[in-house]
């Protein structure tokens, strides 16, 4: 393979990894640290530049990377670009590590040269670890709140932010005019711990918990979470008289009721003092009631910002100092391969125990075999271990200077380590395709019984392990055949506990087709996709019949869910051709068909619950798009009622859209609907269409 071909392969692998880790982050289950993710993106950008990839085709410039289905997306008037970072992983042109002091000096030299000055007043502010938000105020009143998204477009979360009660809905004495304030939504550690203690399944960390909460479509109860906000920038203004410096702007915001960290702002003209302040502040992290992942160094004179401009990725007026996570060296004793619920084979590092960020670590994630190869990790190596989000242990680097001669690269398994079935590859991942694989069975059953799937009361992970090991349970239908006496004989069970589990199993039989589909852990079928498939096909028989037609390449079936024309949408919102291929081939497999037959045999409902679907003639088969704030209904309520009546809810307007439901402050979807001649209705008209579907 030639040099360019190798780079192209690496670029494609990086593309897949970045997409995977973005999805994991949005799902609230990050597997790598922000720094590790930034390293992947930096390498991607470097390769894209080397290969001359057109800017419009680059992954980092594609819109909608942080979009959540069901939320309106709007374009930022001024892009919310990320800051350039001082990185401990950066190297100079000769490949040697570049000290942070040298990196900061280089940044100062560039700014002084561009501005033709000898001295630059700067301020240093804390970089609170939360989620960025953009707030639009008109005549001092909050009009909209939008997530950062991909930096160019973000999701509208006005209802969620307003419900928090910690963001000012009115700015005191701001007068007439419009302005956009940017800040961070964050979860104080004490409030996060208090709220987390009330949950059956604790949130992974404050930042991801905050992100998840702000994407709750129903904002009720958000005011009880304790999530707060602080503000650090005015992105633009029209008709508002503002100060000319950043430190005065922070005071201006504070005077109008917006929370800022004025007492934490450090002013200087010295790059050495700025760096020293960052290092000193790092020592204070443990005393703060909020997570902080670094500091921001920015020019104080706001009039210079426009002169400095920006790249496609970073503004030139500031730079971020990221606090390095605690890293500890230890020896890699072995590499094991675990089998997940979907059959994914994942390499796991077995380590000489090491104390990192408060706990002893003996196992750590290696994520996937592409990452293993990229980092060139070998058994016997001395490796550096840290925790992603202070939670998930992972191997981040190899000290190759300590590598012993003859250390061999890890060979990607060609067969499942548990059942011996020949493994298959899909993009950057390797899978065991055998659904009866013992490890896969165990993980699938754990997922099937979990709260987000069938929600079987009393059937936790420990009990699942016992019924698999001691009672021979191998498939979901086996769970429903368990008897009280058999359950009572297991460790820590007893008759009352067994009766509770049996009652939970009986209740779970009526959860409906959507929950069953989610519980089966079919690849690419999560909670939303499971609900959408169930709502469209109504019964498992109809779904399986369609899957057989799809696999047989029936033209009508393929066009139904994956139209050949990219401008057309299929019957299932968000289902692309590649995912459809995987989903319907798996659903048509003998193993999955056998599971459905077994569930039917034990009385599990394999149809959409009658309470969930009652088709209404004026709604069934129609596509609706929502925009703006409705008077009484939330987006979640509208989506459920439209789907229950047999309609679809889409995230964007096209010629095939039947109705755009518009509320207060509609976005660009309203304008597009007008240009395409799509019917625009209000909440009252929607309720009239729904008729007696209440």
Residue 243 makes CB contacts below 8 A (sequence gap 6+) with 249, 251, 252, 302
Catalytic one of 85, 127, 153, 643: 127
Dmax (CA) for the chain in angstroms is: 84
- Angstrom distances, CA of residue 305 to CA of 105, 177, 309, 315: 19, 22, 6, 8
- Angstrom distances, CA of residue 371 to CA of 38, 351, 401, 506, 640: 14, 18, 20, 44, 40
Cβ 106 vs Cβ 319: under 8 Å: no
Closest by Cα among 85, 79, 100, 1 to 35: 85
Distance of alpha carbon 353 from alpha carbon 393, whole angstroms:
12
Residue 451 makes CB contacts below 8 A (sequence gap 6+) with 200, 201
Q: Where are the alpha helices (DSSP H) in 509-627?
A: 513-519, 527-537, 540-551, 555-561, 577-587, 590-601
Closest by Cα among 682, 570, 692 to 641: 692
| Contacts by residues 374-379 (CB-CB < 8 Å, ≥ 24 positions apart) | 374/10, 374/13, 376/400, 376/409, 377/332, 377/335, 377/349, 377/410, 378/332, 378/403, 378/407, 378/408, 378/409, 378/410, 379/332, 379/333, 379/334, 379/335, 379/407, 379/408, 379/410
Closest by Cα among 288, 274, 187 to 229: 187
Distance of alpha carbon 659 from alpha carbon 691, whole angstroms:
16
Q: Residue holding tokens 């995977």?
A: 20
**Is 404 an annotated catalytic residue?**
no
Distance of alpha carbon 197 from alpha carbon 5, whole angstroms:
51
Distance of alpha carbon 192 from alpha carbon 194, whole angstroms:
5
Count CA within 13 A, CB hemisphere, residue 637.
Answer: 15
**Beta bridge partners of residue 131, listed in sequence order:** 185
Q: Where are the alpha helices (DSSP H) in 319-358?
A: none
Q: How does 462-483 read in b/e, with b if 16+ C-beta sit within 10 Å?
A: ebbebbbeebebbbbbbbbebe
Closest by Cα among 345, 388, 342, 385 to 368: 345
Order of strands across the sheet with 623-627?
648-650, 623-627, 659-662, 679-681
Count CA within 13 A, CB hemisphere, residue 307.
Answer: 13
Q: Residue holding tokens 């995912």?
A: 579
Closest by Cα among 119, 96, 123 to 109: 119
Distance of alpha carbon 86 from alpha carbon 103, whole angstroms:
6
Residues designated catalytic? 127
């Amino acid at each position: 393979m030639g040099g360019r071909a190798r780079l192209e392969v690496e670029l494609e692998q990086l593309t897949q990894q970045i997409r995977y880790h973005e999805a994991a982050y949005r799902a609230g289950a990050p597997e790598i640290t922000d720094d590790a993710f930034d390293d992947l993106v930096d390498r991607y950008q470097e390769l894209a530049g080397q290969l001359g990839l057109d800017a419009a085709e680059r992954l980092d410039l594609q819109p909608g990377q942080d979009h959540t289905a069901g939320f309106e997306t709007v374009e930022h008037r001024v892009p919310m670009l990320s800051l350039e970072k001082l990185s401990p992983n950066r190297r100079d042109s000769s490949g040697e590590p570049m000290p942070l002091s040298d990196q900061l000096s280089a940044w100062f030299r560039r700014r002084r040269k561009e501005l033709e000055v000898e001295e630059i007043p700067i301020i240093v502010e804390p970089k609170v670890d939360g989620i960025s938000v953009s707030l639009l105020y008109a005549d001092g009143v909050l009009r909209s709140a939008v997530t950062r998204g991909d930096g160019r477009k973000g999701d509208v979360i006005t209802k969620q932010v307003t419900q928090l009660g910690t963001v000012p809905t009115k700015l005191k004495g701001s007068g007439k005019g419009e302005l956009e304030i940017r800040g961070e939504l964050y979860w104080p550690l004490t409030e996060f711990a208090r709220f987390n203690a009330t949950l059956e399944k604790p949130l992974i960390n404050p930042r991801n918990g905050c992100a998840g909460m702000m994407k709750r479509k129903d904002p009720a109860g958000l005011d009880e979470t304790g999530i707060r906000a602080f503000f650090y920038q005015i992105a633009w203004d029209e008709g508002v008289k503002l100060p000319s410096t950043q430190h005065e702007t922070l005071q201006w915001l504070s005077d109008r009721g917006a929370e800022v960290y004025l007492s934490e702002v450090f002013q200087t003209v010295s790059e050495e003092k700025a760096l020293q302040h960052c290092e000193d502040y790092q020592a204070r992290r443990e005393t703060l009631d909020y997570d902080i992942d670094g500091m921001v160094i920015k020019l104080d004179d706001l009039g210079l910002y426009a002169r400095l401009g920006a790249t496609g990725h970073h503004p030139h007026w500031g730079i971020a100092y990221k606090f390095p996570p605690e890293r500890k060296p230890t020896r890699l004793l072995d590499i094991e391969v675990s089998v997940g619920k979907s059959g994914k084979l994942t390499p796991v590092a077995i380590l000489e125990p090491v104390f990192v960020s408060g706990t002893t670590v003996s196992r750590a994630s290696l994520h996937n075999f592409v990452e293993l190869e990229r980092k060139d990790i070998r058994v016997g190596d001395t490796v550096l271990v840290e925790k992603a989000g202070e939670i998930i242990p992972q191997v981040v680097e190899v000290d190759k200077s300590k590598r012993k001669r003859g250390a061999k690269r890890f060979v990607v398994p060609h067969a499942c380590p548990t059942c011996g079935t020949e493994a298959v590859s899909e993009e950057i991942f390797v899978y065991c395709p055998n659904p009866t694989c013992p490890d896969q069975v165990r993980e699938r059953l754990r997922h099937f019984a979990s709260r987000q799937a069938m929600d079987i009361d009393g059937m936790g992970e420990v009990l699942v392990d016992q019924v698999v090991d001691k009672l021979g349970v191998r498939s979901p239908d086996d769970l429903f055949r368990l008897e009280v006496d058999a359950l009572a004989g297991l460790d820590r069970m007893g008759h009352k506990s067994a009766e509770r589990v049996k009652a939970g199993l009986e209740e779970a039989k009526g959860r409906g087709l959507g929950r069953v589909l989610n519980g089966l852990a079919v690849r690419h079928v999560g909670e939303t996709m499971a609900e959408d498939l169930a709502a469209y096909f109504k019964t498992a028989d109809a779904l399986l019949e369609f899957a057989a037609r799809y696999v047989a390449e029936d033209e009508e079936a393929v066009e139904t869910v994956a139209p050949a024309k990219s401008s057309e949408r299929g019957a299932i919102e968000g289902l692309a051709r590649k995912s459809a291929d995987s989903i319907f081939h798996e659903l048509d497999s003998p193993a999955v068909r056998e599971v459905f037959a077994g569930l039917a045999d034990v009385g599990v409902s394999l149809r959409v619950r009658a309470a969930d679907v009652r088709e209404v003639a004026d709604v069934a088969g129609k596509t609706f798009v929502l925009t703006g704030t409705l008077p009484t209904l939330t987006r979640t309520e509208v989506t459920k009622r439209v789907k229950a009546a047999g309609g679809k809810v889409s995230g964007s307007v096209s010629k095939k859209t039947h109705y755009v439901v518009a509320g207060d402050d509609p976005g660009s979807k309203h304008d597009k609907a007008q240009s395409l001649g799509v019917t625009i209705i209000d909440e009252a008209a929607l309720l009239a269409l729904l008729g007696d579907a209440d």
